Chains A and B, each alone.
Chain A
């Protein structure tokens, strides 16, 4: 049985799954015995349902702000 990350990878790399309707994908996940968190995230369209499984850490979008001003401001 695939775990949640493996299921996400499978969805991301399969054209039929990636663009399946919410209803279709929910059925697929239920049949594959996906976790309640993943099924709820797909059914609701809200990925915050995955937080209990993966933690609440929110990554800062790295590399933001490339216009370094130190040389201008010094």
Chain B
């Protein structure tokens, strides 16, 4: 019997599905995404994890969303106080892993709740699952609607049309990366670009000027770029600003904003490969006729 038929049967019979009893001695971990927008994006399954957990750890980008989360579980512990200006975020993220694992080892059902998708631009959710599994605990991640998902909807971009590269902006500076200007380029956390200390909450326009200088190898300085922020409250509208690349150092770029560079070049046909494919087509056609 198909799964859908199974559910239809249970609905028809009005028979509640009863979950199997949990082993209350064994700790477990679920890391879930809250989505971006209050009330709109939280999946039924993630909500169920939140409601059934013994303890919640919250890494959310909006204070009001955090208060909404507190309605769903009586033991919500914010991870926000572990951030401090001048303290390495690497240390903060390691502390988050320790906090969650302490409760898992104590036999609790732990749920880590992170804004957007918990596995995108998020070190500690992946790390804590790795640690929990290595110690023999059940641990998994539930996806959430990310800022990237909202970006495609709000800006009308389909990453499949010409391709789309995503980088944390710092990677463009710290490493030699190959940028393809015939596709979209999405740069995350531009507001912090160039911070090598991991201890600052923002960097100045001088750091963004370095980014512009690097990008100017592949894009003209008058190329129109987009600064984007998804909404966290359902009464907001997405923030979308269009400026010239050269102006990026001179505008305010909060950490939650993303920079999108639309294509600056057309797709270049690969004639050599096309000829190879045409030859293959011909061979297969001849073989089918013979």
Contact = CB atoms under 8 A, between A and B. Distances in A.
Given A59-B60, A59-B66, A72-B174, A8 B121 contact: no
Contact of B171 (A25, A42, A55, A67): A67
Interface in A15-52: 17-18, 25, 38, 41-42, 45, 47, 50
A12 B124 CA distance: 28
Nearest to B70: A5
A5 B192 contact: no
Contacts of A10: 39
Contact of B59 (A11, A45, A50, A63): A63
B60 A62 contact: yes
A38 B235 CA distance: 9
A68 B76 CA distance: 28
A12 B64 contact: no
Given A8-B234, A69-B196, A69-B198, A62 B61 contact: yes
A47 B233 contact: yes
Contacts, number: 109
Contact of A66 (B59, B71, B123): B123
Interface in B178-227: 189, 191-192, 195-196, 198, 201
Interface residues of A, number: 34
B140 interface: no
A41 B80 contact: no
A73 B196 contact: yes
Interface of B: 37-40, 59-64, 66-68, 71, 79-80, 83, 89-90, 93, 114-115, 121-124, 168, 170-171, 174, 189, 191-192, 195-196, 198, 201, 233-237, 255-256
Given A12-B37, A66-B123, 13 more contacts: A5-B71, A12-B234, A13-B40, A18-B40, A57-B63, A61-B256, A62-B79, A63-B121, A64-B189, A64-B192, A66-B122, A67-B171, A72-B174
Interface of A: 5, 8-13, 17-18, 25, 38, 41-42, 45, 47, 50, 54-55, 57-70, 72-73
